[in-house]
Amino acid sequence: MAEVAALTRPDAIHWCDGSDEESEALIAQMQADGTLLPLNAETNPGSWLHRSHPDDVARVEHLTFVCTREQADAGPNNHWMAPDEAHAKVDALFDGCMRGRTLYVIPYCMGPIDSPLSRCGVEITDSPYVVANMRLMTRMGADALARIEREGAFVKGLHSIGELDPERRFIMHFPEELTIKSYGSGYGGNALLGKKCHALRIASFQARNEGWLAEHMLIVGIENPQGETHYVAAAFPSACGKTNLAMLIPPEGYRRDGWKVWTVGDDICWMRPGADGRLYAINPEAGYFGVAPGTSAKSNPNALETIRKNTIFTNVGLTADEQPWWEGLDNGQQPATDWRGNAYDPDQGPAAHPNARFTVSAKQCPSWSPMAEDPQGVPISAIVFGGRRASLVPLVFEARDWTHGVLVGAAMGSETTAAATGAVGVMRRDPMAMKPFCGYNFADYFGHWLSFDKTGAKLPKVFHVNWFRKGDDGKFLWPGFGDNLRVLEWMIGRVKGEAGGVETPIGHLPTADALNLDGVTLSEEAKAKLFGFERTGWKAEFDSIGEYLDGYGPRMPQALRDEQQRIAGLLAD
Give the residues lining the site for ligand GTP (CB under 6 A).
236, 238-244, 266-267, 290-291, 293-294, 299, 419, 467-468, 476, 480-481, 484
From CA 164, how far away is CA 52, in angstroms rounded? 10
Does 109 participate in catalysis according to the annotation? no
Closest contact distance (angstroms) between CB of 556 and ligand OAA is 25
Asked whether the beta carbons of 100 and 12 are under 8 A apart, the reply is no
Instruction: Please give the residue whose beta carbon sits closest to ligand GTP in the complex.
Output: 480
125 is in an annotated binding site: no
Closest contact distance (angstroms) between CB of 546 and ligand GTP is 28
Closest contact distance (angstroms) between CB of 238 and Mn ion is 5
Say whether residue 267 binds Mn ion (CB under 5 A). yes
* Stretch near ligand OAA under the rule CB under 6 A, chosen from 7-15, 25-33, 189-197, 368-376: 189-197
Closest contact distance (angstroms) between CB of 269 and Mn ion is 11
Question: In terms of DSSP bridges, do strands 79-80 and 64-66 run parallel, antiparallel, or are they unpaired?
Answer: parallel
Q: What is the number of other CB atoms lying within 10 angstroms of the CB of residue 501?
A: 17
Closest contact distance (angstroms) between CB of 503 and ligand GTP is 26
Which one among 108, 183, 289, 478 touches ligand OAA, defined by CB under 6 A? 289
239 is in an annotated binding site: yes
238 is in an annotated binding site: yes
From CA 474, how far away is CA 56, in angstroms rounded? 31
| 290 binds, options ligand GTP, ligand OAA, Mn ion, none, Cβ within 5 to 8 A by partner type | ligand GTP
143 is in an annotated binding site: no
242 is in an annotated binding site: yes
The DSSP output letter for 476 is B
Question: Residue 3 to residues 91, 124, 126, 459, 471: CA-CA distances in angstroms?
Answer: 11, 12, 15, 46, 58
From CA 154, how far away is CA 166, in angstroms rounded? 29
Closest contact distance (angstroms) between CB of 241 and ligand GTP is 3
243 is in an annotated binding site: yes
Closest contact distance (angstroms) between CB of 267 and Mn ion is 4
Say whether residue 303 binds ligand OAA (CB under 6 A). no
Closest contact distance (angstroms) between CB of 294 and ligand GTP is 3
From CA 265, how far away is CA 369, in angstroms rounded? 9
Please, which residues have CB within 8 angstroms of residue 26's CB and are 6 or more apart in sequence? 128, 131, 132
500 is in an annotated binding site: no
From CA 201, how far away is CA 439, in angstroms rounded? 4
| 188 binds, options ligand OAA, Mn ion, ligand GTP, none, Cβ within 5 to 8 A by partner type | ligand OAA
Residue 561: helix, strand or coil by DSSP? helix
DSSP E strands in 442-543: the ranges are 461-465, 501-504, 507-510
Paired residues of 265 in beta bridges: 219
Given 120, 240, 365, 438, the catalytic residue: 240
Closest contact distance (angstroms) between CB of 56 and ligand GTP is 16
Which one among 50, 59, 400, 435 touches ligand OAA, defined by CB under 6 A? 59
388 is in an annotated binding site: yes
Q: Which of residues 85-114 bind ligand OAA (CB under 6 A)?
A: none
End-to-end CA distance of the chain: 64
187 is in an annotated binding site: yes
Among residues 22, 67, 285, the alpha carbon closest in space to that of 172 is found at: 67
482 is in an annotated binding site: yes
Question: Residue 74 to residues 91, 408, 470: CA-CA distances in angstroms?
Answer: 21, 22, 36
Q: Which of residues 224-243 bind ligand OAA (CB under 6 A)?
A: 238
The DSSP output letter for 231 is E
Question: In terms of DSSP bridges, do strands 378-386 and 229-235 run parallel, antiparallel, or are they unpaired?
Answer: parallel
Q: Which is nearer to ligand GTP, 480 or 500 (CB)?
A: 480
# chain residues binding Mn ion, by CB under 5 A: 2
Q: Which is nearer to ligand OAA, 434 or 545 (CB)?
A: 434
From CA 287, how far away is CA 298, in angstroms rounded? 22
Q: Which is nearer to ligand GTP, 202 or 292 (CB)?
A: 292
Q: Which of residues 402-431 bind ligand OAA (CB under 6 A)?
A: 419
The DSSP output letter for 343 is B
DSSP E strands in 266-334: the ranges are 269-273, 279-282, 287-291, 312-314, 317-318, 324-325
Q: Which is nearer to ligand OAA, 10 or 189 (CB)?
A: 189
Binding mask 368-407 for ligand OAA (x = CB under 6 A): ----------------------------------------
From CA 438, how far away is CA 460, in angstroms rounded? 22
User: How many helical (H) and strand (E) elements, i.e. helices and strands, does the chain have?
Assistant: 17, 29
DSSP E strands in 378-441: the ranges are 378-386, 396-398, 413-415, 427-429
Q: Which is nearer to ligand GTP, 206 or 484 (CB)?
A: 484
Distance of CA 103 to the CA centre of its chain: 28
One-letter amino acid of 5: A
One-letter amino acid of 233: A
326: Cα within 13 Å, side-chain hemisphere: 21
Q: Which is nearer to ligand GTP, 179 or 295 (CB)?
A: 295
133 is in an annotated binding site: no
# chain residues binding ligand OAA, by CB under 6 A: 9
Q: Which is nearer to ligand GTP, 239 or 567 (CB)?
A: 239
Residues catalogued as catalytic: 240
Contacting residues toward Mn ion, per CB under 5 A: 238, 267
Residues annotated within the binding site for Mn(2+) are: 196, 216, 267
Residues annotated within the binding site for GTP are: 239-244, 357, 388, 481-484
Residues annotated within the binding site for substrate are: 59, 187-189, 238, 355-357
Contacting residues toward ligand OAA, per CB under 6 A: 59, 188-189, 195-196, 238, 267, 289, 419
